[in-house]
Amino acid sequence: MSLFASVQPYAPVNLMQTPQRAPEAPAACPILLFPSKVPARFPSRTANYFEGSLDANEYLVRHKAASLYFTVEGDSMSGAGILSGDQVLVDRSIGPKHGHIVVAIIHNEFNLKRLCRLHDAIELRPENPAYDAIRVGEDDDLLIWGVVVGVVRKIAV
């Protein structure tokens, strides 16, 4: 059996951090959705109508019963656009694949990293050159807790 095949995506865990479960029935909070893309360049004229509404939970959450939000702490994933203080939406029903950003448990600690399958090993790679990858050895207990499917960030105003 390969090392990658031994990754356990759905085993229960009992750790100190309690993730926030995504709402079973998200509260309706529709916000108008404008029909045009927003260019990040010189402004253009826009139509004076809206396409509909957008519920953030409906947009982000694919599997309600298997989805949880985690608060990000640290800057090891800043290169992937995930910053300290962000909320990442993690779906436990998605099988982890090479290249996915995952919440993994290794050495009894949660880690937010990119999952990389190598010829003979698995690495959990940060998206910040200031940090080293975590190489998972044959004797290490690795649990892929879930796959990140979304990021929510507040903008200071």
* Span 81-126, pLDDT tens digits: 999 999 999 999 999 999 999 999 998 899 999 999 988 889 999 9
User: Which element (helix H / strand E) includes 103?
Assistant: strand 101-106
Of the candidates 115, 132, 76, 19, the one whose C-alpha atom is nearest the C-alpha of residue 142 is 115
The confidence score (pLDDT) of residue 121 equals: 87
32 — phi, psi (to 5°)? -55, 140
What is the CATH classification number for the domain harbouring 8?
2.10.109.10
12 domain residue, yes or no? yes
78 domain residue, yes or no? yes
Task: Give the structural domain span for 121.
Answer: 4-25+63-152
100 domain residue, yes or no? yes
Catalytic residues: 76, 113
104 domain residue, yes or no? yes
pTM above 0.85, yes or no: no
Q: How far apart are the first and last CA of the chain?
A: 52
117 domain residue, yes or no? yes
Give 125's strand partners: 114
8 domain residue, yes or no? yes
- For the stretch 51-76, pLDDT in tens is 677 788 888 888 888 899 999 999 99
**Least confident window among 12-16, 44-48, 62-66:** 12-16
35 domain residue, yes or no? no
Q: Does position 152 have pLDDT exceeding 50, yes or no?
A: yes
33 domain residue, yes or no? no
154 — phi, psi (to 5°)? -85, 145
Count how many domains the chain has.
1
Of the candidates 125, 152, 138, 147, the one whose C-alpha atom is nearest the C-alpha of residue 4 is 138
The confidence score (pLDDT) of residue 57 equals: 81
Mean of pLDDT over the chain: 79
pLDDT band, residue 6 (cuts 50/70/90): very low
Asked if 140 contacts 125 with a C-beta cutoff of 8 angstroms, the reply is no
The identity of residue 120, as a single letter, is: D
The identity of residue 118, as a single letter, is: L
